Amino acid sequence: MTTTDLVTVANRRSLDRSRLKRLFTRPEIGALVAAIAVLVFFSVYTGQFFSLPGAGVWLESASTFGIMAVAVALLMIGGEFDLSSGVMTGFTALIVGVLTTHYGLNIWVAVVIALIVALGVGALNGYLVMKTGLPSFIVTLGTFFVLAGIDLALTKVITGQVSIQGMTQVPLYDSIQPVFGSSVEIGGGNFYVSVLWWVAVTVVATWVLLRTRAGNWIFAVGGAQTAARQIGVPVLKTKIGLFMTTAGAGWLVGMISLFRTSTVQANTGVGQEFIYIICAVVGGCLLTGGFGSAIGAALGALIYGMTFQGITFAQWDTNWLRTFLGAMLLGAVFLNHWVRIRAGGGSR
């Protein structure tokens, strides 16, 4: 007890002095600055942006990307990618749509089944990556295409269409819809429940990363997998858990989009996996793993949502969004690279 206190007190001063400095080495600091810049820019440039109705629009837009970006960030910190994360959002929504509208299954049961299937695919991704030793980029590219094909082909075979119709007529639809798709009106703006989900996911992910054993293991398996294994970290369990987390997040976003719009297209989510990765990298995640932040990824998604809607409000050609995203990505990668060199990490 006494030695500990002594040390703590003795170190107080030096800790305090370095606190400001440490703030600037946080992974999310770049994204925070960029988010403020984007907010200020569009607030000044367009009238509607900095208002409750405006905020409702861009927060809603950011929320679903935010949930995915946070999960993808955890996975990236753990040293892996999941290219099937985008298509997973459509896949889970289609499962619920088909099971309820076509097979008449209880909607709550269908939602739970979709979650179990998603977690199963996530676990399979993780297991294949770990057992084969192949890059997750390749393994999940495979899962991505398998799921994308199933989405299109099976939906067409079973329903004869490329989207799910008639969700609102499903019994008990109204009992589950508010959980994922409800909104409240505040000052003329519509605020969706998905924003709450986004905040909750970010808070839980941050807690896990920074304050639990699992978080320590995530950083370790991404930063130096062999070292982590040698020191006794359960690498397989950690990695499979991470893949299941992104798949679970895909399910949550799938449910949110299904119950907000009461329909789902067979190609929903395809191509969005790269946006999640961009959000995570802009938020400070290293592509090589071992470094990053959940709050940063959430901020990355906020930047995406604000820019997307800001460009619409400003009535510019929305194609500029991609150019902007690409530039942000490059800026973030250069910043990360610099931080990494300063931290003295080799290629281990």
Partner 1 sequence: MSTEAPAAAPQTPTASAVPLIEARDIGKRYGSVRALGGVSTVVKAGEVTCVLGDNGAGKSTFIKILAGSHQQSDGELLIDGTPTHFSSPRAALDAGIATVYQDLAVVPLMPVWRNFFLGSEPTTGAGPFRKLDVKQMKATTFTELDNMGIRLRDVDQPIGTLSGGERQCVAIARAVYFGARVLILDEPTAALGVKQSGVVLRYIARARDRGLGVVFITHNPHHAYPIGDRFMLLQRGESLGTFPKSEISLEELTGMMAGGAELETLAHELARSGGSAAEVARELRAEVDALPTDTASAQSPAESPAAAAASAEPDAR
- Beta carbon of residue 297, minimum distance to partner 1 (angstroms, whole number): 17
CA angle 196, 69, 182 (to 5 degrees): 25
For partner 1, the closer of residues 181 and 290 by Cβ is 290
For partner 1, the closer of residues 9 and 157 by Cβ is 9
For partner 1, the closer of residues 18 and 161 by Cβ is 18
Q: What is the SS3 assignment for 267?
A: coil
Chain residues in the site for partner 1 (CB under 8 A): 1, 3-4, 7-8, 11, 14-15, 18, 22, 207, 211-213, 215-217, 219-220, 223-224, 226-233, 286, 290-291, 340, 343-346, 348
- Beta carbon of residue 48, minimum distance to partner 1 (angstroms, whole number): 41
Q: What is the DSSP letter of 288?
A: T
Q: List Cα–Cα distances, 40 to 34, 65, 190, in angstroms.
A: 10, 21, 21
For partner 1, the closer of residues 14 and 315 by Cβ is 14
**Straight-line distance from the first to the last Cα atom of the chain, in angstroms, rounded to the nearest whole number:** 37
Q: Which of 76, 26, 80 is nearest to 205 (CA)?
A: 76
Radius of gyration of the chain (CA): 21
Distance, in Å, from the CA atom of 72 to the CA atom of 281, rounded to the nearest integer, reads: 10
- Beta carbon of residue 215, minimum distance to partner 1 (angstroms, whole number): 8
Distance, in Å, from the CA atom of 215 to the CA atom of 237, rounded to the nearest integer, reads: 13
- Beta carbon of residue 204, minimum distance to partner 1 (angstroms, whole number): 10
Strand partners, 264: 164
CA angle 25, 28, 33 (to 5 degrees): 95
For partner 1, the closer of residues 50 and 207 by Cβ is 207
CA angle 12, 16, 17 (to 5 degrees): 120
- Beta carbon of residue 22, minimum distance to partner 1 (angstroms, whole number): 7
- Beta carbon of residue 131, minimum distance to partner 1 (angstroms, whole number): 16
CB atoms within 10 A of CB 1: 5
- Beta carbon of residue 8, minimum distance to partner 1 (angstroms, whole number): 6
For partner 1, the closer of residues 8 and 318 by Cβ is 8
* Token couple for 318: 């929305």
For partner 1, the closer of residues 156 and 213 by Cβ is 213
